[in-house]
């Protein structure tokens, strides 16, 4: 099986994002996050999700020029508003901030609201682990799954991510409820 190199995929996605109006830096990060998801086997939130992401930009659901901003700060705790900007970039920014807070205070907690789909949640667990931190991340979702034995969706799959740094290889658990 022939494989397309990581860098080539990232460059194509980055160019698409730049054509949609992203700055070079934000396009590079966004493209990298999508490409890493596919490289790591999370196809549903990598290349397979990218066309829907572009569609949501075109429909105005994702505001490419908006970035997460801090709205409340209390020591190691902060609340941020994503301003409907790209969810993966907002989540990445907020994990960066949580890492900074943890380095200063021993713990960092950042709550993010008013954002879009954060794509692969495990990316932020890896981000924390790479920084030598334990990361706990979770989010809510729209109702997309039925209760056991039912047919209509009534609850979300609500992902939970836990990242642990280790010298011999980090451990990242990327979990969500699944319906079998």
Question: In the beta sheet, which residues pair with residue 164?
Answer: 171
Point out the catalytic residue in the list 45, 117, 170, 179. 45
Helix, strand, or coil here: 137? Answer: strand
CA distance 80 to 83: 9
Q: Respond yes or no: is residue 170 known to be catalytic.
A: no
How far is C-alpha 66 from the geometric centre of its chain's CA atoms? 16
What are the tokens at 163? Answer: 């990242």
Closest CA to 165 of 121, 141, 124, 134: 134
75 CA to centre of own chain: 24
Which residues are tagged catalytic?
Answer: 45
């Amino acid at each position: 099986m022939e494989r397309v190199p990581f860098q080539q995929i990232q460059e194509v996605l980055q160019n698409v994002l730049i054509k949609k109006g992203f700055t070079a830096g934000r396009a590079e990060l966004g493209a990298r996050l999508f490409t890493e998801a596919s490289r790591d086997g999370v196809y549903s939130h990598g290349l397979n999700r990218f066309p829907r992401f572009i569609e949501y930009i075109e429909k105005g659901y994702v505001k490419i020029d908006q970035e997460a901003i801090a709205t409340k700060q209390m020591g190691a705790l902060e609340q941020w508003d994503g301003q409907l900007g790209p969810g993966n970039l907002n989540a990445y920014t907020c994990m960066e901030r949580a890492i900074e807070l943890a380095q200063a205070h021993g713990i960092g907690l950042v709550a993010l609201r008013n954002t879009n789909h954060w794509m692969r949640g495990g990316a932020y667990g890896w981000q924390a682990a790479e920084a030598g931190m334990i990361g706990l991340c979770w989010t809510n979702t729209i109702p997309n799954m039925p209760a056991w034995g039912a047919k209509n969706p009534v609850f979300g799959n609500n992902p939970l991510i836990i990242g642990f740094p280790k010298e011999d290889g980090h451990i990242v658990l990327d979990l969500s409820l699944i319906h079998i």
